[in-house]
Homo-oligomer: A and B are copies of this chain.
Amino acid sequence: MSAPAQDVEALRLRTRDFIRDVVIPAEPGPDVRLSEELRDALMAAAKDAGVFAPHVAREYGGQGVPIEHWSPIFQEAGYSPIGPSVLNCMAPDEGNMHMLGIIATEAQKQRYLAPLASGEVRSCFAMTEPHPGAGSDPDALRTEAVKVAGGWLINGHKRFISGAEVAGFSIVMARNDAGDGVPAGATMLLVDMDNPGIRVGQQIHAIDRAIAGGHPHVHLEDCFVADDAVLGAPGEGFRYAQVRLGPARLTHCMRWLGLARRSLDIVLDRAEAREIFGHRIADLGIAQDMIAQSVIDIETSDAIITKTAALLERDPKAGSALSSIAKVHCSEAVFRVIDRAIQLCGGDGVTDRLPLASYMNEVRPFRIYDGSNETHKWAISRRASSRRRKEVAAGAARMDVVDGDVW
């Protein structure tokens, strides 16, 4: 099933060249968003260069790379903050494409996946809700979809819906009651953004800027969609959400790791050209130590991503569990790399003459988005306990036993 390794490497090198030769020279200044015109032009160039949509099947215009090989390509894309948008492998579209490719009907693919994959339209994923609704705990979902003749009526309030302002359609998670062969649970529904029942509300101003369309509120008010708007089977939404979340978490790691590599290169180039902390780098063990720590952060992130991607291909459930570990490690490692780069660049590091301070604001939320790291660690610990409990139940000797009874 895998693409031959040499094809992937060739695509990686093409992507690398494209990002460095075409995308980086076109990057807007700090705190300036990529314009639609420039994005369209760069997307056209990416198609010409044969690097567009690496993760998308060839029949939809992509490069057809299987998930276990996404990482080197996505890292090259992420070396520029606008690279993933230009290559059409940015959140939330990329995760939506992945899920549509797996779950959507052929008709849905033609209608939604095809234009999304080609970059003609964009999308959003409407799951998170205001407190006390679905946040990191999807079970608290409050938005409801009620079965009506010929379709569903959706009501609810979503927030932090990345990309909603520029989306052509949204995948909406809603709670459904049991009925007519449908189990109670959650249902995913495809809602065109020009449906009169859906409305983009107030924008939320967060410190990251890389996702076009921001993170606004979205309101669903008696929003009617036809039966064929259901993505997959009704009542199976939570299961599908896991299909999306594991890989989506990991592709964030891949893209941000590219930005960490960029940050390290900024420091290395600067160290060649001038002094760090008032000294030549070669004389400066503390700078070398910080650089080495960043290399270690980058290489261990790369390794855990590779391991997780291979597992996601082979065993999606185990891969999704491992993606929690990758997410926590990578989000903290990437933040540290950028934070160190700022420090190593001294006063310039906190100004807009270097992009590092803006990178810090881009990646800081990743320790919170997609489930806060603390929530993931809670899940990681529970899985570890459960794994060990099963081993002991299956006969493994307890390791904490001490002889004698006075203890």
Asked if A287 is at the interface (CB within 8 A of a chain B CB), the reply is yes
Q: How far is the CB of A83 from chain B (nearest CB, A)?
A: 14
Residue interface bits A336-378, CB-to-B below 8 A is 1, else 0: 0000001101111111111001001100110111001111111
Contacts of A384 in B (CB 8 A): 264, 268, 291-292, 295
Distance between Cα atoms of A353 and B217 in the complex (Å): 13
Interface extent on A, as a size class?
35 or more
Interface centre among A285, A322, A397, A398 (most CB of B within 10 A): A285
Instruction: Tell me whether chain A's interface is mostly helix, strand or loop, or mixed.
Output: helix
Report the Cα distance A229→B206, complex, angstroms. Answer: 48
CB distance from A216 to the nearest CB of B (A): 10
Query: Which residue of chain B is the closest to A274 with respect to CB atoms?
Result: B131
Residues of B near A307 (CB, < 8 A) are: 299, 302-303, 306
B372 touches A277 (CB 8 A): yes
Question: Which of A33-41, A90-98, A102-110, A388-396 contacts the other chain?
Answer: A388-396
Contact at B368–A350, with CB atoms within 8 Å?
yes
Contact A402 B300 (CB under 8 A): no
Whether A364 contacts B342 by the Cβ 8 Å rule is: yes
Instruction: Assess whether A385 is in contact with B351, with CB atoms less than 8 Å apart.
Output: no
Residues on B with C-beta less than 8 A from A402 are 348, 353-354
Residues 190-229 of A, flagged 1 when their CB comes within 8 A of B and 0 if not, give 0000000000011011111000000101000000000000
Contact A347 B361 (CB under 8 A): no
Closest B residue to A303 using CB positions: B303
Closest chain-B Cβ to A62's Cβ sits at a distance in Å of 27
State A349–B364 Cα separation when bound (angstroms). 10
Interface stretch of the complex, out of A45-53, A117-125, A132-140, A168-176: A132-140
In the assembled complex, the CB of A245 is this many whole angstroms from the nearest CB of chain B, namely 16
Q: Which of B160, B377, B396, B398 makes the CB contact (< 8 A) with A289?
A: B377
**Given A286-B288, A307-B303, A361-B361, do A369 and B382 touch, yes or no (CB 8 Å)?**
no
- In the complex, which of the residues B24, B136, B202, B376 contacts A397, with contact meaning CB atoms closer than 8 Å? B24
Residues of B within 8 A of A285 (CB): 283-289, 374, 378
Residue A147, interface by CB 8 Å: no
Contact B392 A272 (CB under 8 A): yes
Could you list some 9 contacts between A and B, CB below 8 A? A262-B399, A267-B400, A285-B287, A285-B289, A287-B381, A289-B289, A292-B380, A296-B377, A354-B402
Other contacts beyond A206-B350, A281-B385: 11, CB < 8 A: A132-B274, A132-B275, A204-B351, A204-B353, A264-B384, A266-B399, A269-B399, A272-B385, A272-B389, A277-B374, A300-B329
